[in-house]
Structure 1
Amino acid sequence: MKNVNLASKRFKELRESSNLTQVQIANFLNIDQSYVSKFEKGERKLSVDILEKICNLFGCTLKYFEIEDEKYTPMSIAFRSNTLQNEDLEIISAINKVALNIRFINLMLEEVIIEK
């Protein structure tokens, strides 16, 4: 990851805007809460595997954490619970992964149509 400060900043923004705590994220990622804290401060880097899991959770691409101009289009999901458990985050992540793949396929199809 070339731009750790950008990745740290965007991760913290996504986490806070989703009303998730560092502890919830750490449990979801199966890492220690202090690791999340150090990443948000720009003191630690995250592996690509962990970043991909974060991308699935928040419905964004790896490019969003690497490129300043990359846009983020959040997934629209409504919850009826004030507290999310780790299992809930796993389900959200799986749903977002499918949605991201559909988004990618649609972009590829648009490019094919434009080329014709």
Structure 2
Amino acid sequence: MKVIGVRLKSLREENNFTQKQIADYLDYDQSYIAKLEKGERNLTVYALEELCDLYNCSEDYILEGKGTCVQLKYNFRKNVKKLNIHTIAKMNKLVRNLDFLSEIAKEIDD
């Protein structure tokens, strides 16, 4: 559990978010985020799904350090301080879906 917390803290910091921003995004108290990062609380399924969208990670990456986690380098991410965190998560999900559809289109064309 502590390793998951370290990964969550690292993801948060790499994406330039504060604990307060993540708490507001998940509609949790900031102390819950702090305890998650210290390994003192368990990650809920809801929080896991929402954080996967926000950080563009697979559940396996957050839970086990396996799988994928790629910080999107698209233009909308340049102003993360000015964007609503929910918008960032939705944009990440949209970009992932477009990438997935692009891969399907390539397979069909081949």
On whether the aligned pair clears a TM of 0.5, the verdict is: yes
1:46: how far off?
Answer: 1.7
Shift, 1:53, TM fit: 0.6
Q: Give per-residue Cα distances to partners, 1:84-105, cap 9 Å, x unaligned.
A: 46xx111111011122334445
**What letter corresponds to residue 41 of structure 2 in structure 1?**
R
Segments of structure 2 that go 5 or more residues without pairing to the other structure are none
CA RMSD of aligned residues (A): 2.4
Alignment partner of 1:49 is 2:46: yes
1:70 paired to 2:67: yes
Contact 2:60–2:66 under 8 Å retained in 1: no
* 1:19 and 2:16 aligned: yes
Deviates more, 1:18-27 or 1:34-43: 18-27
Provide the residue aligned with 1:79 in structure 2: 78
Structure with a larger share of its residues in helix? 2
Range moving further from structure 2, 70-79 or 32-41? 70-79
Q: How many residues align?
A: 106
Residues 106 and 65 of structure 1: CA distance in aligned 2, closer, same or farther (over 3 Å): farther
CA pair 5-98 structure 1, distance change in 2 beyond 3 A: same
TM-score normalised according to structure 2 size: 0.79
Q: Partner residue of 2:58?
A: 61
The alignment-based identity, stated in percent, is 33
Q: Distance in 1 between matches of 2:40 and 2:100?
A: 32
Cα displacement string for residues 33-63 of structure 1 (whole angstroms, at most 9, x for unaligned residues): 0000000000001211111111111111111
Give the TM-score normalised by structure 1.
0.76
Query: In the alignment, which residue of structure 2 is the partner of 1:97?
Result: 93
Alpha carbons of structure 1 residues 62 and 106: separation in structure 2 relative to 1, 3 Å: farther
Q: Distance in 1 between matches of 2:10 and 2:46?
A: 20
